[in-house]
Amino acid sequence: MSSRLSGKIAVVTGAGSGIGRAIAVRFAQEGAAVHLVDLNEQGCKEAVEEIARSGGSAAAYACNVTDQASVKVTFSEMTSASRIDILVNSAGISHIGKLETTPEADFDRVYAVNIKGTYNCMYAAIDSMKKNGGVILNMASVAASAGLADRFAYSMSKGAVVSMTLSVARDYLPHKIRCNCISPARIHTAFVDGYLKKNYPGREAEMFEQLSKSSPMGRMGKPEEVAALAAFLCSDEAAFITGTDYPIDGGFFNLHG
């Protein structure tokens, strides 16, 4: 592993599991001191222990990203001792349903986490980052630009993440803050396993194979693959990249069907 993030201080939300956890672990391996933020405090602590066993530096923070007051307190605690060089907004939730099968409560819940949560964390970090420059990386999805069936609210939320990314990239160029986003296709996380167990009990292996084959590459992506791209985009090697949405989709968008 390289040390491309050596000396950097990174905040990763949604770091208690899945893609966020993989990013936090990879950043620590790359030399960053990582602040892990998640509503799932236990998951964060387990990730911190994993990082510590490899000699990395990390700390866990329990925080509800939908609550701006809570986010401000958490970020204030982090910035009181150090700056923030990198912010990765990976906290997010999914939702299955088309327009007519998306109740208002579910719509609001997806909005609160995926859109407002991303806004809250950028809002809380931006003053610190303006002092020294930095990198913001948001987690979008291929759903933002592809017409996926039964993903109305989720697609809406990830489209907003892309738009926010472009706005922040434009507005903070004078402050040497880069802002990009990553748009994964289906990534094999605990969410996928839980979805299959809930909706296809006894047929998990069959449906897993079916979902995997829906990708042109014939498999799902791995959280570690997303983390590798995130490490590059947040490093000085990507210093000339901002305002860009990076697909990591196994060819889904351009080669599907």
- Amino acid 38 reads D
Q: Determine the Cα–Cα distance for residues 230 and 178; give it in Å rounded to an integer.
A: 13
- With b for 16 or more beta-carbon neighbours within 10 A and e for fewer, the 54-79 pattern comes to eebebbbbbbbbbbbebbeebbeebb
Q: Does the annotation mark 154 as catalytic? A: yes
- With b for 16 or more beta-carbon neighbours within 10 A and e for fewer, the 84-111 pattern comes to bbbbbbbbbbbbebeeeebeeebbeebb
* Residues contacting 14, CB < 8 A, separation 6+: 20, 37, 38, 89, 90, 91, 92, 139
Query: In this structure, what are the phi and psi dihedrals at residue 204, rounded to the nearest 5 degrees?
Result: -60, -45
Q: Can you tell me whether residue 37 is helix, strand or coil?
A: strand
Q: Determine the Cα–Cα distance for residues 231 and 257; give it in Å rounded to an integer.
A: 31
Catalytic residue among 61, 111, 123, 154, which? 154
Residue positions annotated with a catalytic role: 154
